[in-house]
Structure 1
Amino acid sequence: MKANPCPQCGQALAENCLTCSNCHCAMGLDALAGVDPNIRIKNQKLAAWYGLLLGGLGVHRFYLGQHLKGSLYLAFSWTLVPVALGWFDAFKTFRMSPFTFQSKYAQRPLTA
């Protein structure tokens, strides 16, 4: 098992320890809260409004991290097909449950 140093006293602790046995310092408060600090959370309502108002330019796709689809919306914006697709995406996003939305669009940043 991997040992992590305590940020307060430096004692080696197991990964699953929540508090340091030496100084009683809390370990990994983000883990205690159930939040992974590396995940980028997206706002569902903002994405839907982007799709409704600026869907013809693909702004909602860029916001959700889908840069290729956003570029296609932007390239074909003169045909007005992306406007209809943006409205469809907006209504689909409004109807989606928050859990489904976050599981589909929450992103982990690329690590080097």
Structure 2
Amino acid sequence: MKNKLAAGLLGIFLGDFGAHKFYLGKPKTGLLYLAFCWTAIPAILGFIEGVSYLLSSEENFQAKHGRKY
């Protein structure tokens, strides 16, 4: 079970390095964010994604990013 608060804060503060994507188990996307961290694009996307994680309901967040059995 992933914590939406942790994912949201990682997205807001470390989104330019893809930390939230690594936390959510999406290493390929995280590496893409890391490869382009020298631009402002991953930072903007990480901030937007972090806020959307925090504003989503717990059920919707877990359905999309929680463990899949």
Q: Is TM more than 0.5 here?
A: yes
**Pairwise mapping of residues 16-31 of structure 1 onto structure 2 (< 5 A)?**
none
CA distance in 1 between counterparts of 2:49 and 2:5 reads: 12
Pair 1:104-2:49 in alignment: no
Corresponding residue to 2:10 among 14, 32, 50? 50
**Pairwise mapping of residues 1-112 of structure 1 onto structure 2 (< 5 A)?**
41-108=1-68
Contiguous gaps of at least 5 residues in structure 1 = 1-40
Q: Answer 1 or 2: higher relative contact order, Cα 8 Å, separation at least 6.
A: 2
Between Structure 1 and Structure 2, the one with more strand by share is 1
Contiguous gaps of at least 5 residues in structure 2 = none
Letter in 1 for 2:32: L
The number of residue pairs the alignment matches comes to 69
Q: TM-score, normalised by structure 1?
A: 0.59
Q: TM-score, normalised by structure 2?
A: 0.94
Q: Which runs of 4+ in 1 moved over 4 A?
A: none
SS in 1 for 2:31: helix
Larger Rg: 1
Between Structure 1 and Structure 2, the one with more helix by share is 2
